[in-house]
Structure 1
């Protein structure tokens, strides 16, 4: 079976367009867990929400979590910090929750 040059060019062009569309969609994806990003970011700063981090057993690991992830925070890698939080099945607690944060 012989394929013409025009068909090959059309296929390459269509694949290129498809890759561009997929890349644009992927870049436009919203951040996972946007509120969690915000609350953990707050914990690294002024902690006006009174954020605490607990294990499933109820152990407060806030200080150790912040210390272990300080370098990632300084690099601006909040996605990695959120992934670690989620992967560890930690529970987020807040003393000063505002209804405006819903």
Structure 2
């Protein structure tokens, strides 16, 4: 199984609706590494690292999000391993401060 990293930006009504916590809980349940954070432009950004099929499943879930959210767009880019260093020390998946 090949491990991949994907950086994802989610736009819509995704702040103030529990989206980051939902991403963190869902990613952890899938066994993914990475992080999630709000951006000042109103979007949510996430990094997912893991098996290709699992990362793809997580990204597919991001198109829907928690029930209070409304997702308008999900952009996906390949990412480098250096982005994993932004996680909290000893954490597999982190909720990071807003940037």
TM-score range, shorter chain: under 0.3
The structure in which a higher percent of residues are helix is 1
Please say which structure displays the higher CA radius of gyration: 1
Higher relative contact order (CA 8 A, sep 6+): 2
How does the TM-score come out when normalised to structure 2? 0.28
